[in-house]
């Protein structure tokens, strides 16, 4: 093994600093990520998804159908079965004669919006609650941690369905429900990290210099949590997307006719034997998106935390 | 998805509408076509209206074999006092008997006209069975009708009296449609009011039932029954033909109605007895040795056993019957998506039968304060009636094979049906331009915004979205309010407070009459009699028109279906003139049988094959 190789793969400080001099941990992580081909492909796919979601309107104009337009002439058989992929509808139609391609495109919008918003909301709540639990000592910790335990022990779907049927479904309620069930996991991680960081010397130093609790929490502790939180956010997004699809599938998510992958799959299950395209394409979109986010999340974790073992040695 | 994966959830329950009827005089009087002096009772232009096509009547009836039924869910109740689902009626046909019953026939009129069952004959004014004021019915019991007790015992007039006395028992397992009895039979109200205060124990029930009489139901001797009515009811025989009106043996007093214990101890006076019942899993019925063909003009006893297996959904059921491992559907129908293929191959095992229903339709909340009370205006409702594409709605339910557009209140197969169309659009496809013009003339050039409450299960979301697309073309924005199926009536449609506060403007329920033929009490009255409006009412929109109410009274009191028909039709015209609702279509049920099933006669009353008519190919 040559010395250069050793220097690249190991994290030990070296005397010869010419190669890595001045590179912050973030730069290092970025460099690692850029070398990760899986991460690049997934990142590109997610950027593409974002573009598709952002330009869903112009795209659907280009295709020629709106997401709620029912083509009762070419889009349905007289018996009401969806029409297969054709020149009229590139990916076929759904049970009401609507263009599957356009609806999958619009569904991207819902999935990304709800998925990202819910994940971000969950992380915000989780970080704040976790910081408080970890920082303020055993009494606060005990109460807040039990609260998190309670939230984590809720029967996920049952509670979501019950809540939505009482409050009435809407996108905001959906984001709220998903965030509510996701923040506690983030909170636990943040709490654990905070517990160990608050004992560090530099925190003690800050405190002896008279820094306020808030300043220590947000200026001294929080930046050290960015890496795990970022990783967790990336992994939480696909979970939220799947959760959104599940709620819509159960009829308690997005209100039709707004398309979401979940309610498309739900509508498709009655006719999938006659109309495979109706189930397949939203299914592929959902799987590809969650897979992309998950793989990207793994890569981000690998890049930020080189101590974890890599599945494929580089 | 929802628990209910049955393709036609509405068919499995007798009343599409409300979960629990309280008030309801909810009988529909469907007039058999013959009755009303109307045209013949075919379903309409499309759909195989030939009810005889798939009977497989060839060969001579053979005894033996086990008829195997398969389906999804268990009965609602196994006690005739409470059983309300159509599927339950299918089973009840084999082990319960009524004074009158609907004969198995491929002729729609015959199939929807009550014939003598345990009664010796159909009472009329001319044979003295009905008094000249139409309020007293004298009915004689047929000899040789026996309970499968040991020893076998003749069914008596008192057994029928007991059947009626058990109806309004104060448990969850009481009659689902009290309105057909209270307010119709003299003394029923008083009897039921007293019963309501009785604690739910076997002893208390027994002593109340034995110690109290319904003044309007008397067993004058062992084989003679006398009914006294509050006012004349031309459809009283239809009421007596409901399974609620079955005879009950005294043994039933030993159990709380429809309790688990009761369900293991049913007593039969029909051709079959329940030999083994495992709740939610299976039934095994054996021949009832006490039954004799000579004392039963309605049923037969061909197979040795009837077996019911519960569990699979409609797709699983369909596969098994097609494979020949099972014979008939229990509570499911052929999946609508399978119908086109079976039909194109002319599969003789497929039968398509008209439901004589109106399902679904658009109901208006006429009390809604939204849009400045726009839905109170007839012109606005008429405009909306023009906007609806009924063909597209039919496609949701399988297209023209299974659905026929409907433009009036009374669907075919019911007394008073006369085909007409007040708001005809080209090909029933809807006319957005006309809707727009009318809406503008009514004072809404900028359209409206309507809240549509829809159920999140089954086809309901698709129906709502279809209506939404139609109304969008007319400039009306429809906003969906999803509702769990269990909340739909209680929280929205049948709650006057919700209606008045404008929680909903429009919705798409449906209606399957409790019986067909002479049934003003089962269609027009529950849906459009404004005098019944209140909590739990099925007059969801709060429609109230004195002329319609008067016609309903006259139709209910009319002696014969023919006499009732003109009043029903006149009410129909007025309701459509007021655009009190927008009918979409009347549906048909696709049924399937195995090859070895012979004499498969569909019963409109149960929307399934009559299991007491079937015989099995002996070589199978």
Domain assignment present for residue B5? The answer is no
CB spacing of B487 vs A78 below 8 angstroms: no
- Residue B344 sits in the same domain as residue B449: no
Q: Give the residue ranges of DSSP H helices in chain A.
A: 3-9, 25-35, 37-54, 56-63, 100-135, 138-153, 156-167, 171-197, 201-208, 213-215, 226-249, 261-268, 276-304
Q: Which of B5, B322, B340, B395 best tests the A interface by mutation, with the highest count of A CBs <10 A?
A: B395
What CATH number does the domain containing B151 carry?
Answer: 3.40.190.10
- Residue B256 sits in the same domain as residue B342: no
Domain assignment present for residue B6? The answer is no
What is the Cα–Cα distance from A22 to A6, expressed in whole angstroms? 19
Please tell me the predicted confidence (pLDDT) of residue B25.
Answer: 30
CB spacing of A256 vs B480 below 8 angstroms: yes
- Count how many domains chain B has: 3
Please tell me the predicted confidence (pLDDT) of residue A250.
Answer: 84
Domain assignment present for residue B356? The answer is no
- What mean pLDDT is reported for chain B? 90
> pLDDT tens digits for B162-197?
999 999 999 999 998 899 999 999 999 999 999 999
Pick the closest to residue B609 from B337, B348, B332, B424 (CA basis).
B332
- What mean pLDDT is reported for chain A? 86
- From the number of C-beta atoms within 10 Å of its C-beta (0-12, 13-18, 19+), residue B132 rates as exposed
Please tell me the predicted confidence (pLDDT) of residue B457.
Answer: 86
What is the Cα–Cα distance from B505 to B464, expressed in whole angstroms? 13
- Residue B151 sits in the same domain as residue B282: no
Q: Which of B428, B456, B491 best tests the A interface by mutation, with the highest count of A CBs <10 A?
A: B456
Please tell me the predicted confidence (pLDDT) of residue A270.
Answer: 84
Of residues B1 and B201, which shows the higher confidence score?
A: B201
pLDDT at B37 over 90: no
pLDDT at B45 over 50: no
Please tell me the predicted confidence (pLDDT) of residue A18.
Answer: 56
pLDDT at B270 over 60: yes
Q: Considering B262, B289, B323, which residue would you say is the last residue of a domain?
A: B262
Q: How far is B120 from chain A (nearest CA, A)?
A: 47
Per residue in B443-457, is it b (16+ CB within 10 Å) or e — as a string? Answer: ebeebbebbbbbbbb
Please state which of the ranges A146-150, A229-233, B509-513 shows the lowest mean pLDDT: A229-233
Band of pLDDT at residue A157, cut at 50, 70 and 90: confident
Task: Kindly identify which residue of chain A lies nearest to residue B7, measuring between CA atoms.
Answer: A270
Q: Does the CB of B488 have a partner CB in chain A at under 8 Å?
A: no
- Residue B580 sits in the same domain as residue B608: no
> pLDDT tens digits for B372-421?
999 999 999 999 999 999 999 999 999 999 999 999 999 999 999 999 99
Domain assignment present for residue B172? The answer is yes
- Residue B120 sits in the same domain as residue B230: yes
- Residue B217 sits in the same domain as residue B273: no
What is the Cα–Cα distance from B562 to B442, expressed in whole angstroms? 39
Residue B46: cis peptide before it, omega within 30 degrees of 0: no
- Quick check: B159 and B223 in contact, CB under 8 A? no
pLDDT at B528 over 80: yes
Across the range B570-587, mean pLDDT stands at 97
Task: Kindly identify which residue of chain B lies nearest to residue A247, measuring between CA atoms.
Answer: B1
Domain boundaries, chain A: 41-304
pLDDT at B5 over 80: no
CB spacing of A266 vs B1 below 8 angstroms: yes
Please tell me the predicted confidence (pLDDT) of residue B10.
Answer: 41
State ipTM.
0.81
Please tell me the predicted confidence (pLDDT) of residue B291.
Answer: 97
For A84, which DSSP code? P
Domain assignment present for residue B55? The answer is no
Which residue among B392, B397, B456 sits closest to A72, beta carbon to beta carbon? B392
List the domain range (segments joined by +) for residue B560: 361-588
Q: Considering B241, B262, B283, which residue would you say is the last residue of a domain?
A: B262
Residues of chain A contacting residue B472, judged by C-beta atoms under 8 Å apart: 68
Please tell me the predicted confidence (pLDDT) of residue A13.
Answer: 56
> pLDDT tens digits for A206-229?
889 988 888 888 888 888 888 888
Please tell me the predicted confidence (pLDDT) of residue B36.
Answer: 33
- Residue B431 sits in the same domain as residue B578: yes
Please tell me the predicted confidence (pLDDT) of residue B444.
Answer: 96
pLDDT at A273 over 80: yes
pTM: 0.85
> pLDDT tens digits for A18-36?
555 677 878 888 888 888 8
Task: Kindly identify which residue of chain B lies nearest to residue A253, measuring between CA atoms.
Answer: B482
Q: Which of A67, A74, A79, A263 best tests the B interface by mutation, with the highest count of B CBs <10 A?
A: A79
- Residue B168 sits in the same domain as residue B200: yes
> pLDDT tens digits for B481-497?
988 888 899 999 999 99
Domain assignment present for residue B61? The answer is no
Band of pLDDT at residue A68, cut at 50, 70 and 90: very high
- Residue B224 sits in the same domain as residue B312: no
Q: Considering B235, B262, B289, which residue would you say is the last residue of a domain?
A: B262
pLDDT at A40 over 60: yes
Across the range A272-301, mean pLDDT stands at 92
pLDDT at B29 over 90: no
What is the Cα–Cα distance from B120 to B143, expressed in whole angstroms? 9
> For chain B, what is the radius of gyration of the CA atoms?
24
pLDDT at A199 over 90: no
- From the number of C-beta atoms within 10 Å of its C-beta (0-12, 13-18, 19+), residue B553 rates as middle
- Residue B582 sits in the same domain as residue B542: yes
CB spacing of A80 vs B482 below 8 angstroms: no
What CATH number does the domain containing B422 carry?
Answer: 3.10.105.10
CB spacing of B456 vs A257 below 8 angstroms: no
Task: Give me the phi and psi of B194, to 5 degrees please.
Answer: -65, -40
Pick the closest to residue A132 from A143, A121, A119, A123 (CA basis).
A143
Please tell me the predicted confidence (pLDDT) of residue B40.
Answer: 35
Band of pLDDT at residue A301, cut at 50, 70 and 90: confident
pLDDT at B101 over 60: yes
- Residue B222 sits in the same domain as residue B246: yes
Please tell me the predicted confidence (pLDDT) of residue A252.
Answer: 84
> For chain A, what is the radius of gyration of the CA atoms?
24
pLDDT at A287 over 80: yes
Cross-strand pairs, B20? none
Domain assignment present for residue B479? The answer is yes
Which residue among B392, B464, B482 sits closest to A169, beta carbon to beta carbon? B482
Q: Assign residue B491 a region: left if phi > 0, alpha if psi is -120 to 50, beta otherwise?
A: alpha
- Residue B81 sits in the same domain as residue B212: yes
Fold classification of A41-304 is: MetI-like fold (1.10.3720)
């Amino acid at each position: 093994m040559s010395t250069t190789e050793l220097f690249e793969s190991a994290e030990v400080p070296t005397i010869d600093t010419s190669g890595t001099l001045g590179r912050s941990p973030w730069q290092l992580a970025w460099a690692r990520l850029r070398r990760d081909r899986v991460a690049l492909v997934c990142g590109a796919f997610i950027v593409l998804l974002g573009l598709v979601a952002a330009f869903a309107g112009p795209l659907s104009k280009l295709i020629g159908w709106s997401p709620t337009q029912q083509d009762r002439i070419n889009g349905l058989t007289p018996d009401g079965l969806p029409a297969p992929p054709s020149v009229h509808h590139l990916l076929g139609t759904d049970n009401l004669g609507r263009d599957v391609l356009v609806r999958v495109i619009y569904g991207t919008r819902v999935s990304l919006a709800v998925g990202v918003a819910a994940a971000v909301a969950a992380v915000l709540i989780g970080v704040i609650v976790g910081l408080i639990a970890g920082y303020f000592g055993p009494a606060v910790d005990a109460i807040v941690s039990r609260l998190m335990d309670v939230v984590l022990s809720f029967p996920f779907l049952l509670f979501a369905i019950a809540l939505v049927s009482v409050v009435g479904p809407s996108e905001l309620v959906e984001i709220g429900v998903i965030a509510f069930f996701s923040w506690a996991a983030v909170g636990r991680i943040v709490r654990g990290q905070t517990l160990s960081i608050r004992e560090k010397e530099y925190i003690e130093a800050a405190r002896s210099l008279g820094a306020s609790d808030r300043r220590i929490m947000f200026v001294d502790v929080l930046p050290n949590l960015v890496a795990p939180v970022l990783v967790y956010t990336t992994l939480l997004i696909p979970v939220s997307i799947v959760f959104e699809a599940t709620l819509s599938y159960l009829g308690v998510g997005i209100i039709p006719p707004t398309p979401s992958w979940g309610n498309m799959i739900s509508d498709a299950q009655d006719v999938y034997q006659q109309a495979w395209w109706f189930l397949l394409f939203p299914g592929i979109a959902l799987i590809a998106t969650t897979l992309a986010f998950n793989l990207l999340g793994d890569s981000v974790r690998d890049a930020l935390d080189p101590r974890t073992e890599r599945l494929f040695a580089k | 998805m929802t628990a209910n994966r049955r393709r036609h959830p509405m068919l499995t329950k007798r009343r599409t509408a409300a979960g629990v009827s309280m008030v309801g005089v909810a009988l529909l009087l469907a007039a058999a076509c013959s009755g009303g002096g109307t045209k013949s009772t075919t379903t309409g232009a499309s759909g195989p209206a030939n009810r005889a096509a798939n009977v497989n009547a060839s060969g001579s009836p053979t005894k033996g074999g086990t008829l195997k039924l398969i389906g999804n869910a268990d009965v609602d109740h196994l006690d005739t006092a409470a059983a309300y689902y159509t599927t339950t009626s299918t089973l009840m046909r084999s082990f319960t008997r009524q004074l009158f019953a609907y004969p198995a026939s491929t002729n729609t009129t015959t199939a929807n006209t009550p014939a003598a069952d345990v009664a010796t004959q159909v009472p009329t004014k001319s044979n003295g069975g009905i008094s000249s004021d139409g309020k007293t019915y004298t009915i004689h019991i047929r000899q040789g009708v026996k309970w499968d007790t040991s020893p076998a015992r003749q069914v008596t007039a008192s057994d029928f009296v007991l059947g009626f006395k058990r109806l309004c028992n104060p448990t969850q397992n009481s009659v689902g449609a009290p309105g057909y009895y209270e307010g119709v039979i003299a003394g029923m109200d008083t009897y039921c009011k007293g019963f309501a205060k009785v604690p739910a124990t076997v002893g208390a029930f027994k002593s109340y039932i034995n110690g109290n009489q319904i003044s309007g139901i008397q067993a004058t001797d062992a084989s003679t029954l006398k009914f006294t009515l509050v006012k004349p009811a031309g459809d009283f025989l239809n009421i007596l033909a409901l399974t609620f009106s079955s005879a009950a043996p005294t043994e039933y007093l030993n159990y709380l109605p429809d309790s688990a214990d009761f369900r293991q101890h049913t007593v039969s006076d029909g051709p079959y007895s329940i030999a083994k019942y495992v709740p939610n899993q299976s039934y095994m019925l054996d021949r009832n040795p006490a039954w004799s063909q000579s004392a039963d003009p309605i049923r037969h006893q061909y197979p040795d056993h009837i077996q019911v297996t519960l569990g699979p959904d409609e797709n699983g059921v369909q596969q098994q019957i097609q494979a020949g491992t099972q014979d008939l559907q229990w509570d499911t129908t052929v999946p609508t998506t399978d119908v086109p293929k079976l039909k194109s191959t002319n599969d003789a095992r497929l039968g398509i039968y008209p439901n004589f229903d109106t399902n679904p339709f658009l109901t208006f909340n006429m009390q809604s304060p939204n849009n400045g009370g726009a839905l109170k205006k007839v012109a606005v409702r008429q405009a909306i009636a023009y906007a609806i594409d009924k063909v597209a709605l039919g496609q949701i339910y399988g297209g023209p094979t299974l659905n026929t557009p409907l433009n009036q209140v009374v669907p075919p197969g019911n007394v008073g049906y006369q085909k007409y169309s007040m708001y005809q659009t080209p090909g029933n496809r809807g006319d957005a331009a006309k809707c727009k013009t009318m809406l503008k003339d009514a004072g809404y050039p900028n359209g409206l915004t309507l809240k549509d409450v829809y159920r999140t299960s089954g086809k309901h979301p698709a129906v709502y979205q279809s209506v939404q697309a139609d109304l969008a073309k007319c400039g009306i924005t429809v906003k969906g309010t999803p509702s769990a199926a269990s909340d739909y009536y209680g929280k929205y449609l049948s709650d006057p407070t919700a209606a008045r506060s404008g929680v909903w403007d429009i919705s798409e329920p449906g209606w399957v009459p409790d019986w067909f033929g002479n049934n003003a009490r089962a269609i027009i009255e529950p849906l459009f009699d404004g005098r019944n409006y209140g909590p739990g009412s099925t007059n969801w929109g709060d429609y109230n028109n004195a002329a319609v109410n008067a016609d309903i009274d006259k139709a209910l009191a009319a002696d014969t279906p023919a006499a009732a028909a003109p009043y029903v039709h006149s009410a129909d015209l007025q309701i459509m003139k007021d655009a009190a609702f927008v009918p979409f279509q009347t549906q048909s049920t696709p049924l399937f049988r195995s090859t070895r099933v012979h004499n498969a006669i569909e019963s409109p009353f149960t929307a399934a094959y009559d299991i007491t008519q079937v015989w099995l190919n002996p070589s199978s």
